[in-house]
Amino acid sequence: MSGLGRFYRLFSIDLRSLACFRLGLATIILCDLAWYRLPNVGAFYADDGMYPISEAKAWLGDAGGWSLCLLDGSPAFQTAMFAVTGLFALALLLGWQTRAATIGCWVMLVSIANRNALVSNYGDSIMQIFLFWSIFLPLGGKWSIDSRRKNSRQPNSAAKPPLPTAVCSIPSAVTMLQLCLIYFFAALWKWNSDWLSGSAVETAFSLEYARRESPIDLLQYKFLLRPLTISTLFLELLGPLVVWIPYRTNLIRYAMIGAFSMLHLSIELYFTPLLLSYVCVVAWFLFLPASFWESRFIRRLTGANCSDEKASPSVTVELAQPAATGVFARIGQRCASVICIVLFIYVAMWNTATLNPKRFGFLIPHQIAWVGHVTMLGQTWDMFSRPSQHNGWFKARARLANQDTVDLLRDGETFDRDSLASNWSYYPGSRWKMFFRRLGIWKESEPICNHVAEYLLTQWNEQHPDEQRAIELSFLYYERLGDPQANGFTVRQMGSANNGEQQDWEVTLDRLDSIYSGGLLN
């Protein structure tokens, strides 16, 4: 096989694989909007919620971050922004005006993420990054309204040119390399004593906020955790390299797709990484070769005819363009290739610089750092590089008009200052857990805690009668010392709120707070 043929084989993406990639991304966006975003518009995105626009602007600073959601803080405007995002995602799912829909999804998801960074994680970043690269790809080449309309315009003659079945271009190569880069740098971040000793996964299981209740408790089988830790490290390090071996490429890629899918399935079974596992599995669709779609089982499953798949075995640089715009299309393709090359080099430099700022920080000087923030291609894959030892949770101690003292973060249960049981199971969803987790460990988030206290107090009073209204709320952070069975914890007050009423309270609890706030209880 010639060098050009090997390049095509390694960097081409079958249009059916690309269509699955498109369908997967659109489905994830729609599900995230329906289950996590829309139900929490008032809490996370409105100005009268827990994270007002003023705090978001302070967080973005002058780094170059941007968000359309910062234009107005009303719940109606934020809901409208989510509705627009849903329409773009639906258009992407159907493959209607696919490139415009891809751009729209990218713009809206960046806006939503920058509106409240405390409820976004690596999965959201990966989604935004792949949407950006997808702008340069023919996502609507198969199984889309766009492709049907294009096919209908083809002349019905035996001499008509065969339609392309794959795309091989600089954007396709960059998109595939981006996925490999994520895992490779994630492995480099993990190259430390926690992972090399095999203790990282066991430490991760002690993180109460991230752990999911699973039928099999792996902590009872600790002899498995060390090999799982080591194998994960080397899979992330070597997997992104072996997929480019030009010998038995299809077989190797089947193995890597299966291995990484199993990795993300196991993560999803035991932890709550939000979109991370789903987006990564969908991204591996890009590596599905044509032989997968040409197998007898898949043909029957998709109802494909043999004549459809044998129309053109060749690889094309881009979907065919109408003759009238051929020159402009070629110019656009070349410009897109140059942009992708420059930005991918920038991405590689950014990852290298953040991996070792002292040695390689010069690669991304301040003058060009804004590019990464504007495009959202600035990326650091240090997730679980050193699993945190911090186990903490919040309590919202409210004094009610009927003299009761309750915890608003435990559905109004009686407040117990000495309880060692965390309350993560009471939160409405994973983004709530992420938000409160970051409030506890990020020093920059402490000014937000008063907004949180005011929101919790207001919501409680709106949902309860006057005799149960909350008069005053103390927002406390409990941090466990060591593992979940530890007997000690620290307590500090992070924020407070009141409804303006003045009442004479017994001073016992106030005096107690002054004693143990920030102190140690055993």
Whether 519 has a pLDDT exceeding 90, the answer reads no
What pTM, to 2 d.p., does this model score?
Answer: 0.90
DSSP secondary structure, 479-518, as one string: EE-SSTT-S-EEEEEEEEEE-S------SHHHHHHHHHBT
Are the C-beta atoms of 105 and 131 separated by less than 8 Å? yes
Are the C-beta atoms of 460 and 408 separated by less than 8 Å? yes
Q: What tens digit of pLDDT does each residue of 61-99 get? A: 766 789 999 999 999 999 999 999 999 999 999 999 999
What gap in Å lies between CA 354 and CA 378, rounded to an integer?
10
Name the band, by pLDDT with cuts 50, 70 and 90, for residue 507: very low
Q: What is the pLDDT of residue 344?
A: 98
Whether 448 has a pLDDT exceeding 90, the answer reads yes
Q: Residue 161, by phi and psi: left (phi above 0), alpha (psi -120 to 50) or beta? A: beta
DSSP secondary structure, 328-345, as one string: HHHHHHHHHHHHHHHHHH
Residue 396: name the closest of 375, 423, 420, 421 by CA.
423
Q: What is the pLDDT of residue 163?
A: 67
Q: What is the pLDDT of residue 160?
A: 55
Mean pLDDT of 481-509: 68
List of residues 6+ apart from 157 with CB closer than 8 A: none
Name the band, by pLDDT with cuts 50, 70 and 90, for residue 305: low
The first and second tokens of residue 191, run together, are: 């190259």
Residue 230: name the closest of 198, 188, 264 by CA.
198
DSSP tag of 33? I
What gap in Å lies between CA 181 and CA 12, rounded to an integer?
18
Instruction: Give the up-direction half-sphere exposure of residue 350: CA atoms within 13 A in the CB hemisphere.
Output: 23
Instruction: Give the up-direction half-sphere exposure of residue 131: CA atoms within 13 A in the CB hemisphere.
Output: 30
